[in-house]
Amino acid sequence: MGQTPETSSRRLPTIPPLDPYRVSLIEQEGLSVRQLDPLGVEIYGADVRTRLPEPLIEALEAEMANRGFIVFKHQTDLSADELVTASKWWGAREIHSTHGIHPATPGRNRHIFRCSNDQRHGILGVGPQWHNDGSFEAATFSHSAYYMARAPEQGGGTHFAHQGAAFDALPKQKQAFWQRLVSVNSASSVTHPVVHTHPVSGRKSVWLHLGMTGAVLERLPEDGLSIDELQKAPATADQFRLLNEDDMKALFNDYNDLMNDSFSQGYGIRYHYDTGDLLFIDNWALAHRASPEAHLPAEQQGLRIMDRVTIKARQDLAPHFGLPQYINIAGPHPFNSDGVWQAGGVGFRWKDDIPMQN
């Protein structure tokens, strides 16, 4: 089959292999690694109750930025404090907690968000659509920890998609368009670029929350200015337009398709947990969603208990074009075009027949 102009303008998505020097640092500590296909890394032989040496922590943080996530295998029976302490190895080395506390949370630890498929053991129905944790914050969480305290007998994992490789997979025309977009969170009014440059890997990476976005702004193109020049140049209100309902539906469906296509195009993975897995993601590099099986009742799937911890970022995920970090979505918009401007906890409903709880 011949290529269309759109498909021929795409770059093949790429995820770098493990760096040999960083592998040597890991192995010097008596640990072993397994590179997953096409992304992610499993680490064997560690005990996260003991802090790793700083050079190794830095190496693993770089691998998360490049390959999306790492998994410390066989970390059974971690206490709440042990989980929180290990989570402080990354990002700004502080926990950033914004959630409620389920009664079954160990020690009622305020930094642990306990999820389950049985309401007696945790919060139900979390994360069914592609998202990044903490998108309602200016300094969106740099990393998240997912500790599988109890894996269900019949599976129930997490889907991950690499957002740098996803950008590479976009046609050039959409790359240019998406780089001119800024989202506005429907709950907090915070703004984020739809394409940002990852602070560690340096890769252009897509970013859009499918469950809490109330508006998207487009910076209109200008003759003679490259996208990099546009992003750095402050603009007036009349140089933006609000995406209308049809534009929003097209964008959200394109983004959802891009994430779904990750499995067939080599930048996504369906990860299945074992009890005791401690998985850390780079939340600026990786979108995720719970697998459909994760939400099946415990009577059907087996009991699933996962503890999440979120880590403070070193910097804000700031918008381009001189836009402020917050634009009050509960008030009138300051732009000269009509379009979607919707406040509320769920945001713009781009599809009516899917659950939203992120």
pLDDT tens digits, one per residue of 222-275 = 888 899 998 988 888 899 999 999 999 999 999 999 999 999 999 999 999 999
- Per DSSP, the residues of 240-302 read EEE--HHHHHHHHHHHHHHHHTHHHHTSEEEE---TT-EEEEETTTEEEEE-GGGGS-HHHH-
Pairwise CA distance, residues 264 & 88, whole Å: 34
pLDDT of res. 2: 41
pTM above 0.95, yes or no: no
pLDDT of res. 156: 84
pLDDT of res. 218: 97
Please report which helix (H) or strand (E) contains residue 163, including its range: helix 163-169
Tell me if 101 sits within 8 A of 64, measured CB to CB.
Answer: no
pLDDT of res. 90: 98
Q: Which of 349, 2, 11 is nearest to 174 (CA)?
A: 11
State which residues of the chain have pLDDT below 70. 1-13, 354-358
The structure tokens 């943080």 sit at 61
Pairwise CA distance, residues 141 & 282, whole Å: 9
Tell me if 157 sits within 8 A of 269, measured CB to CB.
Answer: no
Pairwise CA distance, residues 46 & 73, whole Å: 8
Pairwise CA distance, residues 74 & 44, whole Å: 8
Query: What is the percentage of the chain residues whose pLDDT exceeds 70?
Result: 95
pLDDT of res. 5: 46
Q: Decide: helix, strand or coil at residue 229.
A: helix
pLDDT of res. 351: 85
pLDDT of res. 336: 77
For residue 134 the two structure tokens come to 């903490």
pLDDT of res. 8: 44
Angle, helix 54-67 to helix 20-28, in steps of 10 degrees: 140
pLDDT of res. 352: 77
CB atoms under 10 Å from CB of 351, counted, come to 12
Contacts of 210 (CB under 8 A, 6+ apart): 129, 130, 131, 252, 255, 256, 350, 356, 358
DSSP state of 331: S
pLDDT of res. 126: 86
Q: Decide: helix, strand or coil at residue 185.
A: strand
Amino acid identity of 32? S
pLDDT of res. 7: 45
Domains, the chain, in order of start with CATH, read 16-161+271-311 (3.60.130.10)
Residue 38: cis peptide before it, omega within 30 degrees of 0? yes
- Measure CA of the first residue to CA of the last residue in the chain; give whole Å: 39
CA angle at residue 69 from 64 to 74, to 5 degrees?
120
pLDDT tens digits for range 154-196: 888 999 999 999 999 999 999 999 999 999 999 999 999 999 9
pLDDT of res. 354: 65
Q: Decide: helix, strand or coil at residue 230.
A: helix
pLDDT of res. 233: 85
Amino acid identity of 217? L
Q: Decide: helix, strand or coil at residue 317.
A: coil
For residue 201 the two structure tokens come to 């890997």
Pairwise CA distance, residues 102 & 126, whole Å: 13
Tell me if 136 sits within 8 A of 320, measured CB to CB.
Answer: no
pLDDT of res. 141: 97
Beta bridge partners of 159: 270, 289
